[in-house]
Amino acid sequence: MLTFFLMFLVAQMPEEASSTLERVEREVAAVAEKIRPSVVGVTAGFTAEFESRHQITESLKLTGIVHSADGVILCDGNVLERATEITVRLPDDREAVARLLGVDRRTSVAVLRVAAKGLAPAEFARPDEVRQGIYAIVVGNTLGLRSSVEVGFVSGLGRSIQVGGRKYEDMIQMTTAVNAGDCGGFVANSRGQLIGMVHSSYQGEIHDIGSLGILRLFGKDYSDFIPRPAGTMSFATPASTMRFVAERILKHGRMVRGWMGVTVRPLGDAAREQFGIRSGEGCEVWSVDPQGPAARVLRRRDILLSIDGRPVTDVRALRRWVTEMEEPRALQIRYLRGGQRREAEVRIVVGD
């Protein structure tokens, strides 16, 4: 009887496995169909003079995401500031000239506007819904092929990366393969909600495939755009960052954020015990911008205890709190230097 039962289970396994795969296929296909109306094609055109006589015109194809029904589009903005013309191909195949409203160089998020109504805005996921291990489904314009779909997973959060000589913080790391044309692509979770925008990809070894012309003149190197073999990492700008930048640019006509001029990192338990700091409090100053407002007060290795009367308990929360300031203001800080407690005033400046 036991032998017969095991044979029965084995006989049933392929059908059950197939059924599971079919359900996964249907779910992924449904997500792709849901988000396609919120994905557009973006073409950046560049015209440059050569030896003061001839003009060279090239173009770069990207992907954009519909932010609002009245024609606001979000895109990766690394090259858009230098484009002489930007056009958008809408989901219904209409083409429209886009106006660049602003670019945040620290996050590479650009805000465009086209003369269109009735577009399908992306549905934003809540930040707490973005976790390691969830699906990262990308719809982009791979190599100019519209509405291409790639599937992977979120493999890391809060990553710091260096691209084109610039540092980007708090990025989403993915296993999803992305290629030329996917930059600015829609990264969705299993519900079809926006969790991020394709920013770049990385592989350990790059072989020179020759010049790609105008790409070398702008923010990203050719290695950020060439097709990737399996096993590479890709990165996305978080949806929460995209929404923050879009709201600021739409409100102020430019990027506006608070700036203190320091980078901090979490404080270890050994340091807390050494200086008698309560568990969970304090952070270490890791670097100080010599041109920043905190340079006259703080030094590397100082330990921040409180700002504006609030204990420092979360590095990311502190960074976000300062960044979200829209007006300059003076803050009282308490900190440790060499074991000695000190107090000072630091004025937060506001800029891009």
pLDDT at residue 54, as a whole number: 64
Across 45-59, 191-205, 278-292, least confident range: 45-59
Tell me if 322 is assigned to some domain.
yes
Q: What percent of the chain has pLDDT over 70?
A: 84
Q: Which residues contact 205 (CB under 8 A, 6 or more apart)?
A: none
| Collapsed DSSP state (helix, strand, coil) of residue 125 | coil
281: phi then psi, degrees, rounded to nearest 5? -105, 155
Tell me if 24 is assigned to some domain.
no
Tell me what the mean pLDDT of segment 179-183 comes to. 90
> For the domain that residue 267 is a member of, what is the CATH number?
2.30.42.10
pLDDT at residue 206, as a whole number: 42
| Helix intervals (H) in the chain | 2-35, 239-252, 269-275, 315-323
Q: How many domains does the chain have?
A: 3
Per-residue pLDDT tens for 116-146? 999 999 999 999 999 999 999 999 998 888 8
In the predicted model, is pLDDT for residue 281 greater than 80?
yes
- Of 105, 102, 34, 107, whose CA–CA distance to 73 is shortest? 102
- Per DSSP, what are the bridge partners of residue 341? 336
Q: Which residues contact 3 (CB under 8 A, 6 or more apart)?
A: none
pLDDT at residue 211, as a whole number: 40
- Of 122, 181, 178, whose CA–CA distance to 150 is shortest? 178
- Of 210, 180, 218, 213, whose CA–CA distance to 56 is shortest? 213
pLDDT at residue 12, as a whole number: 52
Cβ atoms of residues 192 and 28 within 8 Å:
no
pLDDT at residue 3, as a whole number: 42
Tell me what the mean pLDDT of segment 244-249 comes to. 96
Residues 285 and 342 in one domain: yes
Average pLDDT of every residue of the chain:
85
pLDDT at residue 47, as a whole number: 83
Tell me if 122 is assigned to some domain.
no
pLDDT at residue 298, as a whole number: 92
In the predicted model, is pLDDT for residue 253 greater than 70?
yes
Residues 165 and 207 in one domain: yes
Residues 160 and 225 in one domain: yes
pLDDT at residue 17, as a whole number: 52
Tell me what the mean pLDDT of segment 62-75 comes to. 96
Residues 229 and 163 in one domain: yes
Residues 166 and 199 in one domain: yes
| Collapsed DSSP state (helix, strand, coil) of residue 24 | helix
Give dist(CA 166, CA 220) in Å, integer: 9
Residue 343: domain span: 257-351
Residue 197 confidence class, pLDDT cut points 50, 70, 90: very high
Q: Which residues contact 231 (CB under 8 A, 6 or more apart)?
A: 203
In the predicted model, is pLDDT for residue 270 greater than 50?
yes
pLDDT at residue 117, as a whole number: 92
Across 24-38, 211-225, 315-329, least confident range: 211-225
Give dist(CA 25, CA 300) in Å, integer: 52
Residues 136 and 241 in one domain: yes
Tell me if 194 is assigned to some domain.
yes
Tell me what the mean pLDDT of segment 28-54 comes to. 86
In the predicted model, is pLDDT for residue 332 greater than 70?
yes
Residue 1 confidence class, pLDDT cut points 50, 70, 90: very low
Residues 182 and 84 in one domain: no
3: phi then psi, degrees, rounded to nearest 5? -60, -45
> For the domain that residue 58 is a member of, what is the CATH number?
2.40.10.10
Tell me what the mean pLDDT of segment 287-303 comes to. 91
Tell me if 3 is assigned to some domain.
no
Tell me if 15 is assigned to some domain.
no
